[in-house]
Chains A and B, each alone.
Chain A
């Protein structure tokens, strides 16, 4: 029962209360850069989610069974980033070879993800929070879900903004950021849910 409660808490916290994009400011580049169309933001969101979960699966054993016993836990930034870069590369090659349709949909976003702070951020947060293997993976999944949700909401808003009459000097990036501010504002409402 206790574990179910904990999982539910992580789910609600990562998706709504402490959303990666809107309150932790991680993954802003793809959030603003790839959210022009709903289709591309869906692909990007799914790719980020998949990489986040894989990153948690791969980094946890390396941290627990290699870095901690050797007393070099401070090397986690370098190690994690290498692991992420490595398996994103492998994932890209595998997708290209065996899942061509999926590669066409997600492939172009994969290299973008290597240097995405949301991925490295989630692995470091898992370590900082001292989550076990299952909780790490679940936490990453929820963080990815929150990212996907915000991408979809925001791309819908941007499609409307593109067609509306915006003051000359706010056109383009400034209005996008102000729209993001309003979306972020609405997420403050979830703040009380943690109790």
Chain B
């Protein structure tokens, strides 16, 4: 029961992108098409599951003062491994090319550090694995929805398939960076409306380093 709850927590209640507003950089950058969003989501899910399990196993060994550098090394190691995998497996090579710079940058993805700090360092490896799967699925879902919306509106296709739209021509702006910001804002407003909770303020409360910068915790407003 609690396994299912942990899994669904990542998808609905604490969705990393739509509710927690974490990992905004990849969310905005790679969602130009639905397929890219899906690929990025699944790659991050792998990194998240591996790092959650590893950090949970090592939680007794990592000294508290230097936990951030330790997490960084663990996550960066897995990310290097994943980018090798994408390079080697022929039918995944397109993903390696289309993610570009954002593939190595998974190593500094806020979601992974947030889960390491808030969950994996306090729970056992099995439940941390479930948490990683749930959070990864939530991230993938959000990226897929946003990628679909931007691809349909921006280039009039979905997953590479052309959608017949008659006289209406696609709005190119949604494929451009400006459209990414706009679409993300609208989706967050929409989620806030459905859940009847005002969207949380972006910034320090969701930041993985917040435990490190105590001044922020004290000062409140930045």
Contacts and interface: CB of A to CB of B under 8 A. Distances in A.
Interface of A: 22-29, 32-34, 36-37, 40, 74-78, 81-82, 85-86, 107-108, 111-112, 114-117, 120-121, 124-125, 128, 169-178, 180-182, 184-185, 188
B198 A172 contact: yes
Main secondary structure of the interface of B (DSSP, over half): helix
Contacts of A176: 185, 202
A85 B72 CA distance: 9
Given A78-B77, A115-B72, A120 B104 contact: yes
Contact of A115 (B110, B177, B178, B222): B110
B93 interface: no
27 contacts: A23-B177, A25-B28, A28-B28, A33-B204, A33-B222, A34-B222, A37-B222, A76-B104, A77-B76, A81-B72, A85-B68, A86-B69, A108-B216, A112-B207, A112-B213, A114-B68, A115-B68, A115-B108, A115-B208, A173-B188, A175-B185, A178-B186, A180-B181, A181-B181, A181-B182, A184-B178, A188-B178
A120 B105 contact: yes
B113 interface: yes
A111 B69 CA distance: 11
A152 B206 CA distance: 23
Interface size bracket, B side = 35 or more
B120 interface: no
B159 interface: no
A169 B185 contact: no
Contacts of B72: 81-82, 85, 114-115
A87 B89 CA distance: 36
